[in-house]
């Protein structure tokens, strides 16, 4: 379990080591063919800032070599904004007095039809954590309902036990995204004061349970803004490295959500500039040629247009972050504000104009 490895690292030591990297360390990391976690530290360190263009060029080449000129498309489908947890940064938090809504079977189908109509074949099902209303059985039913419309089903919901994952995989689930939010244990406690999510260790070991359950793909990440993003990203990369060695038949993706405004508002403790986000994306690519790097509509359109060439391999578009947001009830409360409001079609045109193929389907349920 990753926990065992995790507790061998000390947050402050890792942080100090990242911030003490020098230009020399960065140059060595850039010159290598294979890069270690120490090299990753150098690449995300402040010392790497002057090397950003060089990192971008390398990241571009490596991404092209492994993924070709393609960008995969997906979009989220929010099933419910019910949540029993308090998370200081989320609009669905229990203490946020908003109207709660959970899609019925019939509403799920209407949303699925609409999303499919936009061209998507990869869907990401999202709920809050409310085991009574949107527990494993609800999610299983939702997977069964949307299965006829999509070739790849991912979900981002509460962490589960191994046998629950097995049941959902059997029902057609392909990918699970589970972000640690932050690897800073004390800060994690502060941001998750109430609810099951406050169990840091259970969350940290979720990818292990997924690996054991034999999931096709696991998505990792932290919520950028809660803590020092460099240190958090090091722990993410270490987690990825461990998982790739241990559950070697599973694929992995990384996301970089930056804390966005939402109703109830927490100011980010740490700001990450656009330049730093580019640095982080390139650093991941230089560290791991295989990992999928995913970008959401949280980011600005100009940023999204340009990052296509820098290492990203999948993107969402036309996203709604409220239950029923596509057709059922477009005005319900969003989880966070999105920044790129363009339609999926507009986004796809932009991707094509840069000489990339837009991949709508890259999996088939028959393969599972």
289 touches another protein (CB under 8 A) = no
Question: Which one of 220, 238, 240, 278 is in contact with another protein (CB under 8 A)?
Answer: 278
Question: Which one of 18, 29, 83, 344 is in contact with ligand SF4 (CB under 6 A)?
Answer: 83
The residues, ordered by sequence, that sit 6+ positions from 81 with a Cβ below 8 Å of its Cβ are 91, 92, 98, 100, 101, 102, 128, 322, 323, 332, 333, 335
User: Closer CB to ligand SF4, residue 152 or residue 197?
Assistant: 197
257 touches ligand SF4 (CB under 6 A) = no
355 binds, among another protein, ligand SF4, none (CB under 5 to 8 A by kind): none
User: Closer CB to ligand SF4, residue 27 or residue 187?
Assistant: 187
Question: Which one of 156, 187, 205, 244 is in contact with another protein (CB under 8 A)?
Answer: 244
Which residue's structure tokens are 């927490």?
266
Query: Pairing between strand 122-126 and 357-359?
Result: unpaired
Give whole-number Cα distances, 164 to 128, 171, 253, in Å.
Answer: 17, 11, 22
User: Closer CB to ligand SF4, residue 76 or residue 128?
Assistant: 128
289 vs 30: CA distance, rounded Å: 14
Residue 77 token pair: 């489908």
82 touches ligand SF4 (CB under 6 A) = no
User: Closer CB to another protein, residue 185 or residue 300?
Assistant: 300
Give whole-number Cα distances, 181 to 173, 199, 203, 270, 313, in Å.
Answer: 23, 12, 10, 13, 22
CB 264 within 8 A of CB 67: no
Tell me the three state secondary structure of residue 318. coil
> Each residue of 295-332: b (16+ CB within 10 Å) or e?
bbbbbeeeebbebbbbbbbbbbbbbbbbbbbbebeeeb
351 touches another protein (CB under 8 A) = no
> Each residue of 142-171: b (16+ CB within 10 Å) or e?
bbebbbebbbbbbbbbbbbeeebbbbbbeb
Q: Which of residues 10-69 bind ligand SF4 (CB under 6 A)?
A: none
Q: Which of residues 47-76 bind another protein (CB under 8 A)?
A: 52-54, 56-58, 60-61
Residue 60 token pair: 């571009």
User: Closer CB to another protein, residue 111 or residue 276?
Assistant: 276
Q: Minimum distance from CB of 315 to another protein (Å)?
A: 16
Question: Which one of 21, 35, 122, 197 is in contact with ligand SF4 (CB under 6 A)?
Answer: 197
User: Closer CB to ligand SF4, residue 279 or residue 294?
Assistant: 294
33 touches another protein (CB under 8 A) = yes
Question: Which one of 104, 300, 343, 365 is in contact with another protein (CB under 8 A)?
Answer: 300
Angle at 326 between CA 173 and CA 323, to 5 degrees: 65
Helices of type H across the chain: 2-6, 11-19, 23-31, 37-44, 52-67, 105-117, 136-146, 162-171, 185-191, 200-204, 206-213, 229-246, 274-287, 301-307, 344-353
Question: Which one of 18, 55, 90, 123 is in contact with ligand SF4 (CB under 6 A)?
Answer: 90
53 binds, among ligand SF4, another protein, none (CB under 5 to 8 A by kind): another protein
The residues, ordered by sequence, that sit 6+ positions from 68 with a Cβ below 8 Å of its Cβ are 357
197 binds, among ligand SF4, another protein, none (CB under 5 to 8 A by kind): ligand SF4
Q: Minimum distance from CB of 195 to ligand SF4 (Å)?
A: 7
Q: Minimum distance from CB of 208 to another protein (Å)?
A: 14
User: Closer CB to ligand SF4, residue 93 or residue 297?
Assistant: 93
Q: Which of residues 211-250 bind ligand SF4 (CB under 6 A)?
A: none
Q: Which residues bind ligand SF4 (CB under 6 A)?
A: 83, 85, 87, 90, 92-93, 128-129, 197
The binding site for another protein (CB under 8 A) comprises 28, 30-34, 52-54, 56-58, 60-61, 244-246, 248, 274-275, 278, 300, 302-303, 305-306, 309-310
């Amino acid at each position: 379990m990753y926990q065992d490895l995790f507790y061998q690292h000390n947050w402050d030591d890792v942080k100090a080591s990242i911030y003490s990297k020098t230009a020399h360390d960065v140059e060595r990391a850039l010159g290598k063919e294979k890069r270690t976690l120490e090299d990753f530290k150098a690449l995300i360190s402040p010392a790497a800032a002057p090397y950003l263009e060089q990192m971008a060029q390398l990241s571009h080449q490596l991404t092209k070599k492994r993924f070709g000129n393609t960008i995969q498309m997906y979009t989220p489908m929010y099933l419910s904004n019910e949540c029993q947890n308090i998370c200081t940064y989320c609009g669905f938090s229990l203490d946020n007095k908003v109207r709660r809504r959970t899609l019925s079977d019939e509403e799920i189908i209407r949303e699925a039809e609409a999303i499919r109509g936009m061209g998507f074949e990869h869907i990401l099902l999202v709920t809050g954590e409310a085991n009574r209303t949107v527990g494993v059985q609800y999610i299983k039913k939702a997977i069964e309902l949307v299965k006829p419309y999509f070739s790849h089903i991912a979900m981002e919901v509460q962490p589960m036990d191994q046998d629950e994952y097995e049941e959902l995989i059997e029902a057609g689930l392909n990918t699970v995204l589970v972000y640690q939010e932050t690897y800073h244990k004390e800060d994690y406690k502060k941001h998750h004061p109430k609810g099951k999510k406050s169990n840091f260790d259970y969350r940290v070991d979720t990818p292990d349970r997924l690996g054991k359950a034999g999931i096709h793909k696991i998505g990792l990440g932290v919520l950028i803004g809660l803590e020092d993003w460099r240190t958090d990203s090091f722990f993410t990369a270490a987690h990825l490295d461990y998982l790739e060695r241990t559950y070697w038949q599973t694929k992995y993706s990384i996301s970089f959500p930056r804390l966005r405004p939402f109703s109830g508002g927490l100011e980010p403790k740490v700001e990450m500039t656009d330049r730093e986000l580019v640095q982080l994306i390139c650093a991941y690519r230089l560290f791991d040629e295989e990992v999928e790097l995913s970008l959401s509509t949280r980011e600005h359109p100009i940023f999204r247009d340009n990052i296509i060439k820098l290492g990203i391999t999948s993107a969402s578009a036309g996203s709604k972050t409220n239950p029923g947001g596509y057709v059922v009830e477009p005005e319900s409360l969003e989880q966070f504000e999105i920044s790129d409001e363009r339609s999926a079609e507009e986004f796809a045109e932009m991707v094509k104009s840069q000489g990339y193929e837009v991949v709508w389907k890259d999996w088939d349920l028959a393969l599972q």
